[in-house]
């Protein structure tokens, strides 16, 4: 029983991180119909920038994190402006190919700057454990979960009540109509990429702290964004959150309860991905167009 609770709690914590990363993906897809295969590399960039700030430049870690997240946002906006802006109006498949290429390019740039061998990273989240319901849970996981929830709450407020947030949802709904009321679609895209880069960077930093090191594996977590968003619905923000938690739990249980030689922990999310595509391709919360009768 303790083991199950422990697996559940660590699954939820991982799931919250997946959800953060998926959220950025969904935002980009909703506002500009771009399927961003380079989402995992945004994670990697966030983590390595933080590493550079804290370890290489010796900044106090909260300052380092803030600077790194800000820089990640700048990288996001630059990618949008330099790479995706010229592709407006091109077929979806070209855009997908470009984001796949972009992911290789970004990984190579990170490799060129920081090398490919894993490096130990600062663990700024506390590493001790607490006992919840009889299970030992790392405090860093609880922090990760709490931070993810706080970020979600902020973003929800942003989309409900701020002018830019409402403009972003308007663009997601009907781009031309949004344009007709003076909403700058280009600005909305830039904001979407900035937010995606920020959430991914925060996800990357949390993972770095949990792993105690930075390496290419952090970028691999970006792959898990696909099961998450397909499960939750490509264009649904609540779907990204719930999908993230479900995939986190699933991965944790499949890896912890089934015989380890099956190696299902890594694969289970993708089995779900296949299954969802077969039975419910728009996901749990994906938008089906509202039709008035």
Q: 240 — phi, psi (to 5°)?
A: -65, -40
Q: How far is the CB of 25 from other proteins (least distance, A)?
A: 19
* Cβ atoms < 10 Å from Cβ of 150: 10
Which is nearer to other proteins, 181 or 278 (by Cβ)? 181
- 172 contacts 31 by C-beta, under 8 angstroms: yes
Q: Which is nearer to other proteins, 129 or 184 (CB)?
A: 184
Q: Which is nearer to other proteins, 55 or 169 (CB)?
A: 169
Closer CB to other proteins, residue 219 or residue 239? 239
The DSSP annotation for 217-281 comes to HHHHGGGGHHHHHHHH-TT-HHHHHHHHHHHHHHHHHHHHHS-GGG-HHHHHHHHHHHHHHHH-T
Query: Smallest gap, in angstroms, from Cβ of residue 214 to other proteins?
Result: 39
Helix (H, G, I), strand (E, B) or coil at 64: helix
For other proteins, the closer CB: 44 or 183: 183
* Residue 180: CB minimum distance to other proteins, A: 5
Element spanning 45, H or E: helix 39-51
Pairing relationship of beta strands 213-214 and 135-138 according to DSSP bridges: unpaired
Query: What distance in Å separates the CA atoms of residue 81 and residue 68, rounded to the nearest whole number?
Result: 20
160: number of Cβ within 10 Å:
10
* Residue 163 Cβ vs other proteins, minimum distance, rounded to whole Å: 6
Q: Kindly state the smallest distance separating residue 182's Cβ from other proteins, in Å.
A: 3
Residues contacting other proteins: total by CB under 8 A: 23
> Are 153 and 140 within 8 A, CB to CB?
no
Tell me the C-alpha to C-alpha distance, in Å, between residue 81 and each of 34, 42, 86, 110, 132: 13, 16, 8, 20, 47
Binding mask 206-245 for other proteins (x = CB under 8 A): ----------------------------------------
Q: Which is nearer to other proteins, 3 or 187 (CB)?
A: 187
Minimum gap (Å) between residue 181 Cβ and other proteins: 5
Minimum separation from the CB atom of position 158 to other proteins (A): 13
The binding track of 153-192 with respect to other proteins, each residue x by CB under 8 A or -, is: ----------x--xx-xx-xxxxxxxxxxxxx--------
Binding track, positions 28-57, relative to other proteins; x by CB under 8 A: ------------------------------
Six token digits for residue 84: 């995706």
Considering only residues 76 to 135 of the shown chain, the ones binding other proteins according to CB under 8 A are 89
Q: Which residues bind other proteins (CB under 8 A)?
A: 89, 163, 166-167, 169-170, 172-184, 287, 289-290, 292
């Amino acid at each position: 029983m303790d083991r199950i609770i422990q697996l559940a709690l660590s699954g939820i914590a991982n799931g919250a991180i997946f959800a953060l990363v998926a959220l950025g993906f969904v935002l980009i897809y909703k506002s500009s119909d771009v399927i961003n295969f380079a989402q995992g590399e945004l994670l990697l960039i966030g983590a390595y920038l933080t590493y550079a700030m804290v370890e290489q430049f010796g900044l106090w870690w909260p300052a380092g994190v803030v600077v790194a997240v800000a820089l990640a946002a700048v990288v996001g906006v630059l990618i949008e402006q330099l790479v995706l802006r010229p592709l407006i109006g091109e077929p979806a498949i070209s855009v997908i190919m470009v984001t796949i290429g972009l992911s290789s390019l970004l990984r190579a740039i990170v490799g060129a700057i920081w090398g490919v061998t894993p490096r130990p990273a600062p663990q700024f989240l506390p590493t001790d454990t607490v006992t919840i319901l009889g299970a030992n849970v790392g405090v860093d996981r609880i922090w990760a979960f709490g931070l993810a929830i706080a970020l979600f709450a902020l973003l929800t407020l942003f989309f409900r009540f701020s002018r830019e947030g409402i403009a972003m949802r308007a663009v997601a709904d009907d781009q031309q109509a949004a344009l007709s009321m003076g909403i700058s679609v280009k600005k909305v895209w830039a904001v979407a990429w900035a937010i995606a880069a920020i959430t991914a960077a925060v996800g990357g930093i949390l993972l770095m702290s949990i792993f105690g090191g930075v390496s290419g594996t952090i970028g691999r977590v970006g792959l898990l964004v696909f099961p998450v968003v397909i499960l939750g619905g490509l264009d649904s923000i609540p779907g990204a959150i719930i999908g993230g938690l479900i995939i986190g739990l699933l991965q944790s249980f499949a890896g912890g309860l089934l015989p380890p030689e099956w190696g299902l922990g890594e694969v289970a999310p993708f089995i779900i991905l296949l299954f969802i595509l077969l039975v419910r391709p728009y996901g749990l919360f994906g938008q089906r167009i509202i039709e008035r009768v």
